[in-house]
Amino acid sequence: MTIKFNFNKYSRKFKQPLKTHHGLWEVREGIIIELMDERGKVGWGEIAPLSWFGSETVREAMDFCESLPGIITENLIFSIPMSLPACQFGLESAFTELQGNDKEIPKLENSGLLPTGKAALSGWEDLVNRGYKTLKWKIGVDSIDNELNWLQILASQMSEIQGLSLRLDANGGLNFSEGDRWLDICDRINLGDTSFKIEFLEQPLGVNELEGMLALTKGHLTPIALDESVATLTQINQCYQQGWRGIFVIKPAIVGSPKQLRKLYHSLGIDGVFSSVFETEIGQKASLKLAAELCQSNRAVGFGINHWFVDTD
């Protein structure tokens, strides 16, 4: 099969810069991939790197695309190096679309991303009114006393509506005692008599502190989800082999080859939460198809991010 290869770089500005413990993120850059077979059928894919999570950089992905000939083969697509996980995802997704006919985007329950900091207190109702029942709030960017105070207010306000839950994401910005403090409060909220729950605390400690996160898991009820620690297939396997049996946040667009992800996901029996990297609808479609295929739990997917960009919903 001869496959025509084309690619175009894009950049999309956030409505408001995304503030996390990693810093401020103002513009999402990526690459749209177009594959065309000899019959003229087209498959679209997206390369959406997140280098501070461990994927290649946009520059490295562009260098790779520029190094490819205008005509590529299936063999080339499935032999992209592990050092280019976003490229593996982008080209393989485009090839899968070229081969398949299923254009449907799966309808999955989504988690909405709250503004960071105190703005969450005035932002959560708009997301609930848009239909989200699970919200995510990034922490570890203001003082712990402020954020714990805002959490208590958020919890009491959200508890007034049946069935809402909140995810907390520290992006590795807490130390062990801060993680312990956060989980103490989460446990107290989760043992309360309302339906409101803290679903999990995401990546409380840094990627080199798995032992600490295993210890925090032992001492608390509220689950911990690894994200930056399991950003690529290699890291997923490493954390599993070192004893992690908690939640794995899977960002399909940077994890690597979907074919390899399927194999690993099934062989390890992962409890996964599928999450966006703020890709466009092209990358989201391929990611959501993987989520629908692999996710066994009823956990919401983390793709409620489109309102973060200008001129999307």
Ligand X SMILES: O=C(O)CCC(=O)C1=CC=C[C@@H](O)[C@@H]1C(=O)O
Per CB under 6 A, the segment of 68-76, 88-96, 174-182, 276-284 that binds ligand X is 276-284
Residues 24-53 that bind ligand X (CB under 6 A): 50
Tokens matching residue 114? 């709250």
Residue indicated by tokens 């590529």: 72
The distance of Cα 19 from the centroid of its chain, to the nearest Å, equals 16
Give the residue with the Cβ less far from ligand X, 133 or 188.
133
Sort 185 into a burial class: Cβ within 10 Å, 0-12 / 13-18 / 19+.
middle
Q: Is 275 in the site for ligand X (CB under 6 A)?
A: yes
Q: Using CB under 6 A, which of 88, 116, 171, 217 touches ligand X?
A: 171
Per CB under 6 A, the segment of 40-48, 101-109, 156-164, 269-277 that binds ligand X is 269-277
* Active-site residue (options: 136, 138, 197, 289): 138
Positions that interact with Mg ion (CB under 5 A):
169, 202, 227
Cα dihedral 107, 162, 122, 19 sign: negative
Give the residue with the Cβ less far from ligand X, 43 or 272.
272
- The annotation status of 227 as a binding-site residue, yes or no, is yes
Choose the one of ligand X, Mg ion, none that binds residue 113, judging by a C-beta under 5 to 8 angstroms depending on kind.
ligand X
Q: CB-based contacts of 268: which residues, under 8 Å, 6+ apart? A: 236, 237, 240
Cα dihedral 233, 71, 65, 18 sign: negative
Q: Is 227 in the site for ligand X (CB under 6 A)?
A: yes
Q: Is 305 in the site for ligand X (CB under 6 A)?
A: yes
Q: CB-based contacts of 277: which residues, under 8 Å, 6+ apart? A: 48, 50, 53, 251, 253, 254, 283
Q: Is 54 in the site for ligand X (CB under 6 A)?
A: no
Tokens matching residue 162? 């049946």
Q: Is 140 in the site for ligand X (CB under 6 A)?
A: no
* Active-site residue (options: 136, 197, 251, 285): 251
Cα–Cα distance list, 196 to 60, 97, 103, 157, 286 (Å):
43, 40, 36, 10, 32
Q: What's the min distance (Å) between Cβ of 293 and ligand X? A: 19
Assess whether 107 carries a catalytic annotation: no
Per CB under 6 A, the segment of 64-72, 174-182, 271-279, 289-297 that binds ligand X is 271-279
What DSSP letter does each residue of 125-150 carry, written as one string? HHHHHTT-SEEEEE-SSS-HHHHHHH
Assess whether 251 carries a catalytic annotation: yes
**H-type alpha helices, the chain:** 58-67, 74-77, 85-99, 119-129, 144-158, 176-190, 210-218, 233-241, 252-255, 258-268, 281-294
Residues 150-169 that bind ligand X (CB under 6 A): 169
Per CB under 6 A, the segment of 66-74, 101-109, 270-278, 286-294 that binds ligand X is 270-278
Feature table: binding site for Mg(2+): 169, 202, 227
Supply the residues annotated as catalytic: 138, 251
What are the residues binding ligand X (CB under 6 A)? 18, 20, 50, 111, 113, 136, 169, 171, 227, 275-278, 302, 305
